[in-house]
Amino acid sequence: MDFDALKWDDKGLISVIFQDHETNEVLVLGYMNRQALQLTLETGKAHLYRRSRGKIMMKGETSGNVQLVKEILLDCDADAIIMKIEQIGGAACHEGYRSCFFRKLEGDEWKVIGERVFDPKEVYGR
Amino acid sequence: MDFDALKWDDKGLISVIFQDHETNEVLVLGYMNRQALQLTLETGKAHLYRRSRGKIMMKGETSGNVQLVKEILLDCDADAIIMKIEQIGGAACHEGYRSCFFRKLEGDEWKVIGERVFDPKEVYGR
């Protein structure tokens, strides 16, 4: 892949939508820098640049909930990627839900619609 | 909706993933500022902040390919939204494809896998 053909933002990142490869459920919107994308391509396992921590982490590094990349799509502007993945362990969200998008707007309120797959306190010890 | 509960980035924007409400196909990754989100909620039709033009546009304003919002989801960090939509006209991409994600990585190359629904030259006159 020609990394220079991708449009990296002013922080050197590109947006990546992670989608279940079978159901098309969107699990996570994350970010990669060049190194995270390189590691993802080399290993077949999703690596993200975690903006809050300023470092690259493999998804599931602590929880074991690794994401195996099955298919990669690029958008018209070359500034967003979809990775269709197999979600090991059943949960993509660090809060223990299958998807990070576990809240739905009902009226003016966000209502939790996801069910917890794991207890983050047990997995991360916090 | 409490707009202050959302995490707007340093440009005052939030990422919005547009997904077909029936198939879960991801059609667009776009951005909204507060006004675009307000207009979207008021009208039920997707409005985006177009970063390349520095202004708000209703999706389908020119092409007629409007997006009717059916469901809104929020992620754990409150910095990304999913809007499940009904895509009028069958195409979400300004290049005439159903989805903006019409290229797939095969080996080292991006291969067009989408089929054109309309000819952008005819629709936009360019």
**pLDDT one-digit tens code per residue, A48-89:** 999 889 999 999 998 999 999 999 999 999 999 999 999 999
Name the token pair of B58: 């209703």
pLDDT reported for residue B126: 59
Question: Nearest to residue B25, comparing CAs of B116, B87, B72, B88?
Answer: B87
Contact A23 B24 (CB under 8 A): yes
Which residues in B90-110 are b (16+ Cβ under 10 Å) and which e?
ebbbbbbbbbbbbbbbeeeeb
Mean pLDDT of B30-41: 98
Contact between residue A18 and residue A27 where contact means Cβ atoms under 8 Å apart:
yes
Find tokens 């994308």 and name the residue.
A37
Which residue shows structure tokens 């409007």?
B66
A126 in reach of chain B (CB within 8 A): no
Q: Which amino acid is at A65?
A: N
User: What residue ranges define each of the domains in chain B, with the CATH number in brackets?
Assistant: 3-124 (3.10.20.810)
Given B23, B77, B105, which is nearest A1 (Cβ)? B105
The rounded distance, in Å, linking the Cα atoms of B58 and B49 is 9
Residue of B nearest to A6 (CA): B110
Quick count: other Cβ atoms within 10 Å of Cβ A114?
19
Residues 31-70 of A with CB under 8 A from B: none
pLDDT at B27: 98
d(CA A91, CA A62): 13
Shortest Cα–Cα distance, B56 to chain A (Å): 18
CA A115 – CA A98 distance, rounded (Å): 7
What SS3 class is residue A39?
helix
Q: First and final CA of chain A: distance in angstroms?
A: 39
pLDDT at position B124 over 90: no
Radius of gyration, CA atoms only, chain B = 15
Q: Using one digit for the tens of pLDDT, what is the confidence trace for B45-104?
A: 999 999 888 999 999 998 999 999 999 999 999 999 999 999 999 999 999 999 999 999
ipTM above 0.90, yes or no: yes
**For A2, nearest residue in chain B (alpha carbons):** B108
Phi/psi for A28 (5° steps) reads -150, 145
pLDDT band at residue B123 under the 50/70/90 scheme: confident
Closest to B72 (Cβ–Cβ): which among A23, A28, A104?
Answer: A104
Contact across the interface for B108 and A72, Cβ inside 8 Å: no
**Residue scoring higher pLDDT (A42 or B123):** A42
Neighbouring residues of B101: CB distance < 8 A, sequence distance ≥ 6:
A73, A74, A75, A80, A82, B26, B27, B114
Task: Answer yes or no: do A74 and B17 touch at CB < 8 A.
Answer: no
Beta-bridge mates of residue B20:
B85
Nearest CB among B71, B72, B101 relative to A73 is that of B101
